[in-house]
Amino acid sequence: MTAQLETRIDVDHLVRRTRSVGMNRAQDRRRAVVDPDNRRRPGRLGLRRRIPYAGAVGPLALLAVWVVGSALHWIDLRSLSAPWTVVATAGELISDGRLQENLATSSWRALTGLALGIVLGVVLALISGLSRLGEALLDGPIQLKRAIPSLALLPLLILWLGIGEPMKVTTITLGVFVPIYLHTHNGLRSIDSRYVELAETVGLRRSEFVRHVVLPGALPGFLMGLRFAVTGAWLALVVVEQINSTSGIGYMMELARTYGQTDIIIVGLVLYGTLGYSSDLLVRLVQRKALSWRQTFAD
């Protein structure tokens, strides 16, 4: 009887301990949802505390090297203008309105191509990810397109669409929709099958299943694809604006190349880099807020 009593005490202790651990984990999850920054500290092998303004450390270090190299004449100023010369040139371009006008044109092209590419990529990913027939019809050609750089299609696009705005926007769209499709499709196919079974058990309709299960499940993949897409939009813009354009940042740079104005070329490069980097930071911020419920190695 003593042995039975000891066994009963051990079982009761194990049950209480299991409940305590479960309650603690549930409280941790609730705190993580309410306050995403209130998460457990990383262990010995995890990443340490975040560095404030870490995204600016690399660009500022590169700027410091540029300033020091120009000041000490380690850099040939005929090949690469000094930072203060570039700043003065940017001020002149702003004062006469050329920079704002070309920036507005370039932004319109990039944002239009990005929007069309996102819509196209998401729609094709849903069709291919939710249907075996759709996958059979769409996935192969898109994988072929993935292997062909969008810039390699420029000769055909020029023949079909000319050298106007439709060709430029189409080139950007083709560079955007592929990463959106690939990552969204992968996110769809990576949804846990238990959620599908649960949706069938509770009797969700097809539209409700897509809205409540598919779209939230594919959101991490879509946001990752969006990071590649925004960068791809600016990369494609750099090229298409140098093909017989009459406006845009690329046109301004191409005109400066004709006259050997390296300072204006650097202004354009810095502007392209700033736009691309700022876009990526914005998507990363949205990604962090939208996926605050996830706890990853980077957290």
Distance of CA 101 to the CA centre of its chain: 27
Q: What pLDDT is stored for residue 2 in this prediction? A: 46
CA of 193: how far to CAs of 76, 127, 217, 223, in Å? 61, 18, 11, 22
DSSP per-residue codes, 35-63: -TT--PPP-TTS--SPPTTHHHHHHHHHH
- On whether residue 212 sits in a domain, the answer given is yes
Q: What pLDDT is stored for residue 171 in this prediction? A: 92
Q: What pLDDT is stored for residue 217 in this prediction? A: 84
Domain CATH number, residue 214: 1.10.3720.10
Task: Dump pLDDT digits (tens) for 140-178.
Answer: 999 998 888 877 888 899 899 888 889 999 999 999 999
**Could you list the residue range(s) of the whole structural domain that residue 242 is in?**
98-290
Q: What is the pTM of this model?
A: 0.76
Q: What pLDDT is stored for residue 95 in this prediction? A: 92
- On whether residue 264 sits in a domain, the answer given is yes
- On whether residue 43 sits in a domain, the answer given is no
- On whether residue 267 sits in a domain, the answer given is yes
Exposed / middle / buried, residue 107 (Cβ in 10 Å: 0-12, 13-18, 19+): middle
R_g of the chain computed on alpha carbons: 27
- On whether residue 270 sits in a domain, the answer given is yes
- On whether residue 50 sits in a domain, the answer given is no
Residue segments in the chain with a per-residue pLDDT below the cut of 70: 1-48, 53-54, 293-299
- On whether residue 59 sits in a domain, the answer given is no
DSSP 8-state class, residue 246: S
- On whether residue 18 sits in a domain, the answer given is no
CA distance linking residue 175 with residue 228, whole number of Å = 10
Number of compact structural domains in the chain: 1
Q: What pLDDT is stored for residue 258 in this prediction? A: 86
